[in-house]
């Protein structure tokens, strides 16, 4: 099954047992905006998960783990259970940010060994509304479930893993941020500008069509045509959130050895000795 489901697919299953809808709307510049939007109107039956409170652990004082550290597995399993999500529940996640926040939830479910299916709502909340489907302000009554965490450690890498792979043949680092941030020309969020040495840049929003839906597999393949399917691909962004859509895009393009650097740039720069590069590495290699 594709990573994404259409609004029509979801509308046919609104009251189906075994399907849980999760609203993940969130704005980095206003951490309360997503929940306020949920309270005003959301897809019927949807529960809300907050990027900072639910989909991340608290930030550490030394900055390690980045701006959105991975949640503790047991704590997140309990969060899922309270939301009515068991290991076999089909989860459909949505946001209004091109799938970035919803993608974080889908990736976290994979990381915890969820096997009930996890999908993005293609086009997000805007597509749902544009199709004329109902919304509500009512919070659903949710029966608690049991979620057993089975951590899939091979899906994630950490700073020491990345450090050990720098310059290694057969390993490709993919920076998912906008090009000016990758090149180190601007840095509106984190303490240092630049990128991890050797990384190439593939802006995560380039995985989307103009209407906010996911590009088809052939278009995703074109985005990564310069990479080998034999490579180990490590994807990062600013804090491990917007990298998730690129993980899914790479998988749609046929790559199978794709890992997330969960702490990403904000974690990398928290270690004083980690090197930083600026400029366009692909351009420099071709000159």
Catalytic residue among 233, 237, 250, 252: 237
Burial class (CB in 10 A: 0-12, 13-18, 19+), 30: exposed
Q: Is 237 labeled as catalytic in the residue annotation?
A: yes
Give the DSSP H/E element, type plus range, for residue 244: helix 243-252
Q: List Cβ neighbours of 95 (8 Å cut-off, separation of 6 or more).
A: 23, 24, 25, 26, 34, 101, 102, 124, 125
Q: How far is CA 109 from CA 105, 112, 113, 148, 155, in A?
A: 6, 5, 6, 11, 11
Report d(CA 28, CA 34) in Å as an integer: 10
Structure tokens at 249: 């895009």
Q: What separation in angstroms does the CA of 217 have from each of 2, 248, 257? A: 10, 10, 17
What is the C-alpha to C-alpha distance for residues 146 and 221, in angstroms, rounded to an integer? 38
* Cα–Cα dist 249/243, whole Å: 10
Residues with catalytic roles: 237
């Amino acid at each position: 099954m594709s990573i994404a489901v259409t609004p029509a697919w979801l509308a046919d299953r609104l009251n189906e047992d075994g399907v849980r809808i999760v609203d993940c709307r969130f704005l980095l510049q206003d951490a309360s905006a997503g929940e306020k939007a949920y309270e005003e109107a959301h897809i019927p039956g949807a529960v809300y998960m907050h990027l900072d409170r639910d989909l991340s652990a608290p930030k550490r004082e030394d900055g390690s783990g980045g701006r959105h550290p991975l949640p503790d597995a047991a704590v997140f399993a309990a969060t899922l259970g309270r939301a009515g999500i068991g290991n076999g529940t089909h989860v459909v996640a949505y946001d209004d940010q091109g799938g970035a926040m919803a993608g974080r939830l889908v990736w976290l479910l994979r990381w915890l060994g969820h096997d009930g299916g996890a999908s993005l709502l293609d086009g997000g909340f805007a597509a749902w509304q544009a199709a004329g489907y109902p919304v509500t302000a009512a919070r659903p009554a949710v029966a608690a479930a049991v979620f057993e965490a089975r951590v899939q450690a091979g899906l994630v890498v950490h700073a020491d893993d990345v450090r050990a792979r720098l310059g290694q043949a057969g390993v490709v680092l993919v920076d998912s941020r906008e090009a000016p941030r990758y090149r180190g020309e601007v840095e509106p969020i984190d303490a240092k500008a630049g990128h991890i040495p050797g990384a190439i840049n593939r802006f995560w929003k380039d995985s989307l069509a103009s209407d906010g839906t996911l590009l088809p597999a052939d278009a995703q393949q074109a985005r990564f045509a310069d990479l080998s399917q034999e490579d180990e691909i490590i994807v990062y962004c600013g804090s491990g959130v917007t990298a998730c859509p690129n993980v899914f895009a790479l998988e749609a393009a046929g790559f199978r050895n794709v890992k997330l650097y969960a702490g990403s740039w904000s974690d990398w720069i928290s270690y004083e000795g980690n090197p930083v590069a600026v400029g366009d590495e692909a351009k420099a290699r071709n000159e």
